[in-house]
Amino acid sequence: MAGPAHHILDLPSFETAPKLLIVVAPYYKDIAEGLVAGALAEVDRVGGSHEVTEVPGALEIPTAIGMAERLSNFDGYVALGCVIRGETTHYETVCNDSSRGLMLLGLQGLAIGNGILTVEHHDQAAVRADPQGQNKGGGAAAAALHLIALARRWGGARKGVGFASEILLAGKTGGDGTA
């Protein structure tokens, strides 16, 4: 018996193509390749550009995204990887901490799609990573694209911090500095 159907939002459209960083932990190379293929296809569907970078493991993904946000100019991020339950509690640490790191970055305003799979065994991961199957890499990219669209919709001009520049004062005072 099939479960309930899932509603999937149409991809947003963009006047200016978004630029995404796809950060992948290729610990399980075959799974990572499927996730990346799905993500790239979604970014391509909206005419976006992308860069793919690899990190050693899922715990490094939030750190890499945080660094890229501070040091580069991406509109959004796609986090991809796979954590398979093992014999120790390390699984819970990696799952919880990588997810928490991404959530904290997201709450700071970063547009991040989380495609880090957390599964019991390799077969579950393969089904979820398959671009022709559950396509969780594509879903993570779509999530990032939707958040980029929201950020652009709500972005507008930001309030300045500190003092007003002479140009700003000149524009508000008629140009001679008087109120």
Active site positions, annotated? 90
By the 8 A CB rule, do 46 and 16 touch?
A: no
For 61-76, b where at least 16 C-beta lie within 10 A, e where not — what string? Answer: bbebbbebbeeeebbb
Beta-bridge partner residues of 114: 79
Residue position matching structure tokens 């190379």: 29
User: Which of 139, 142, 78, 137 has the alpha carbon at shortest distance from 106?
Assistant: 78
Q: CA 149, 155, 161: angle at the middle one, nearest 5?
A: 155
Distances (CA, A) of 179 to 33, 128, 172, 173: 61, 62, 8, 5
State how far the Cα of 36 lies from the Cα of 81, in Å rounded to an integer.
9
